[in-house]
Structure 1
Amino acid sequence: MKHLYDYELGLKLKNKNAVKTTRNAEQGNGWTLVSTGKVTVDIECDSWNGFIDLFHHEGALKENNNYVFRGQASENWSLEPTLKRAMGNIDKQVELKVLETFKKYSLGRRGQNPPQLNTDEWWALGQHFGLSTPLLDWSYSPYIAAFFAFNSNQSDTENVVVWALSKKVNEKPCIEQLKEERHIQFLSPYLDENNRLINQRGLFVKTPDMMCISEWIELIKENGTIDLARILIPKSEKKFALDSLDKMNINAFTLFPDLSGSGMYANYVNNRELTT
């Protein structure tokens, strides 16, 4: 029988630091992978170094391109977009009205001769400027996702979370049989008005009817690849993690290429100097 991590995330059996613990768990250097469903796992990292080890295997580096990542400061937060959190279950007409309202109040504020945008691009622009939208922010980089998980004062649990979602999830036979509008959408609308998206290696995920992703994933009935992983890292590692990420040039200054990024990074540098 293949190990759980022999399927995805690149944690191959050839890794001499990874050992089998039980039928439903795998363990590496500072992390433990436990199956939580047919295509879902929890990966518990003992420390920031455990998280680094998880993604620094040869196989993992190859498989990273098959996943997108999202950082959250609390284990209790669901994978729901802000519009769902703000208004609950709403129909398409209400969703459209939200967007039309944003368009109305954007008139004259996009500069001279602004480009025409399609619906997804409008939602992406609104997401950038604080509009509640049906989109959820993700990144192609697990380390950028980790930055957003740690760079928050809102954590109310012992761990922060980095989620990993397979980009191949729509290719599962049971999902392919569904109508396309029931698939998850991966959107990358790069706009001149949203330069943060490029620096953050960002993209958006949109689910049917704004379903929570962890609920949508339950539609998958086949065993096999890991399609959704919840990676837990102790929030007590915050200072060490942010300092480590800063050395990778992942910080507010690079991820927010505007004056707000300058201010946030200045705060970080000043606080670091005061505590060392």
Structure 2
Amino acid sequence: MSSVLELKNLSFVYGQKTPFEKRAVDNVSLSIEKGEFVGIIGHTGSGKSTLVQMLNGLIQPTEGQVLLDGEDIWQNPKEIRKVRFKVGMVFQYPEYQLFEETVYKDIAFGPTNMGKSEQEIDMAVRKAAEFTDLKPELLQKSPFDLSGGEKRRAAIAGVIAMDPEVLVLDEPTAGLDPMGRDVLLSQIVQYHKKRKNTVLLVSHSMEDIARVADRIIVMNESHLVMFDKTREVFSHGRELEKIGLRVPQITKIMLELKEKGYDVPDGILTVDEAFSALSSLLKKEGKIW
């Protein structure tokens, strides 16, 4: 696989050279491969939101580089708008960004600004609506007449319609009820599988990240502290707890069993994996047939 995004010694300082100077991201270097699903975790104020805003040029690094397909996105500042078509960004509560008369026009806004033809725009809108499970009859409604979950999906569809090479989602399930969260996360996963593009997901839900991410970026106090495969990251449960993060509940239970001397594997992520591991252990000890 080849890298789609590469960060080289990336830093960002708010209020630089003022009494309020704060280093939000400090010397982060990493490479993200094409087609990966990457989770980003860290407690509030760890720098993860600032980090993702630098990926498509919403804010310019104080130091370092963001390389997209091997090229510095700030090489030509006048072309930064084109980068935002390639790296699509979905913010927390994206429904607050809805503004057009109809859902159709809102989803079409990005493709229109890309200079696509009417036919291409129509195809992009309908494909994005299908990906996010927005019924065709909703497209001609005002976005403000939709339910909360429908607004969220419409806003995400507006980014998907640009067919970005990289899709970045910053807490896309924030504020949704459990069913709405599961539905939206499932749609994001299906989109990733069908499009085979790169997805970066910022989330406070360790269970969600464990379910979907190939690798995880862990931020703490502006620094990158881990970037590894999901199972490997969550096998360091005690280290994560020290920086204010928790692991999935089932992972924590299995970690505690291991610390008590039980021969269970590291990095258990799901209940099914835990059941299989415990069944094997009990069979080994002759406690079940």
TM-score when normalising by structure 1: 0.28
Structure with bigger RCO (C-alpha 8 Å, 6+ apart): 1
TM-score when normalising by structure 2: 0.27
